[in-house]
């Protein structure tokens, strides 16, 4: 038993210290996985148990102003991350086939690591999406896809700061930040009661394109000659992005492609006819 415990401790030290990026080991929430896991644990407890319990006998909170400010903050942060990813790497000298991580302490390498860390912090801020659902008593919008995506992004970005703060993996942050600029702009516009129903469909299409591009990007590690970037992230991100394509693809099919039941279509058509009839009467009066 003592031998097993020693091996576990040795494995933990290897994962948490020996192969970790020495530049980021002392950064907030990065030195150990436990604070981040505790945060995610509280997040899951709040959205499924504590939050609904606290809101059970209360009316939905009116958070319009808070959510508008939140959306603006998200747009600004995502735009900044996209800009930094472009000027520090992907529009400069990064190789799209395979790009190693620069673990040096040069100003540019440290700035890239800091940008990856900011991306991780933004993924934590993203968890407020779900918290707002709970406080507004929109529990039906807290789907498995929503929660899985948010928790997975926090865990994945933590691993990026811990082990791969730069290089090939930052393409994910580049694409995701761009998508978030579009997505939170849509949320901001919608918060002002401005009708833009077509945005939701095309944002979902954009998300599917995002996962496909990330899938192709990490798949290149399987056949590209070794450039110094490890191949093991491909074992995580290839199945992960296939899974996300399946989940988002199913959501897209169920929401925008699948035909509505005939009765529902008839009811909607009758309702539309009644609205048009009423509008016609109103105009004639």
Q: How many helices (H) and strands (E) does the chain have?
A: 11, 0
Among the listed residues 146, 149, 186, 217, the single catalytic one is: 149
> Which of 136, 122, 114, 139 minimizes the C-alpha distance to 48?
139
217 is catalytic: no
Cα 61 from Cα 131, distance rounded (Å): 11
Q: Which residues of 28-59 are buried (b: 16+ CB within 10 A; e: fewer)?
A: ebbeebeebeeebeebeebbeeebeeebeeee
Distances (CA, A) of 162 to 111, 257, 263: 15, 41, 54
> Which of 75, 169, 157, 163 minimizes the C-alpha distance to 124?
157
Asked if 166 contacts 28 with a C-beta cutoff of 8 angstroms, the reply is no
Cα 203 from Cα 246, distance rounded (Å): 16
Positions marked catalytic: 149
């Amino acid at each position: 038993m003592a031998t097993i415990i020693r091996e576990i401790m040795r494995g933990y030290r290897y994962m948490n210290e020996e192969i970790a990026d020495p530049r980021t080991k002392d950064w907030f929430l990065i030195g150990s996985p436990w604070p981040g896991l505790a945060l995610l644990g509280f997040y899951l407890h709040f959205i499924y148990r504590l939050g609904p319990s606290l809101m059970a006998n209360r009316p939905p909170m009116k958070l319009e102003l808070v959510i508008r400010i939140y959306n603006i903050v998200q747009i600004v942060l995502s735009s900044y991350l996209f800009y930094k990813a472009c000027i520090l790497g992907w529009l400069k000298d990064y190789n799209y086939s395979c790009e190693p991580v620069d673990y040096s302490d040069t100003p540019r390498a440290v700035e890239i690591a800091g940008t990856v860390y900011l991306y991780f912090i933004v993924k934590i801020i993203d968890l407020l999406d779900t918290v707002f659902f709970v406080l507004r008593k929109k529990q039906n919008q807290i789907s498995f896809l929503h929660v899985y995506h948010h928790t997975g992004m926090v865990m994945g970005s933590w691993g990026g700061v811990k082990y791969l703060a730069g290089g090939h993996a930052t393409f994910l942050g580049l694409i995701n930040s761009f998508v978030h600029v579009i997505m939170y702009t849509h949320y901001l516009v919608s918060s002002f009661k401005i009708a833009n129903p077509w945005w939701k469909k095309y944002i979902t299409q954009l998300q599917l394109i995002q996962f496909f591009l990330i899938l192709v990007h990490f798949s290149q590690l399987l056949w590209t000659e070794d450039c110094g970037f490890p191949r093991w992230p491909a074992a995580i991100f290839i199945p992960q992005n296939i899974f996300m394509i399946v989940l988002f693809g199913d959501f897209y099919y169920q929401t925008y492609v699948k035909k509505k039941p005939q009765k529902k279509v008839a009811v909607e058509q009758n309702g539309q006819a009644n609205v048009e009839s009423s509008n016609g009467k109103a105009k004639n009066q």
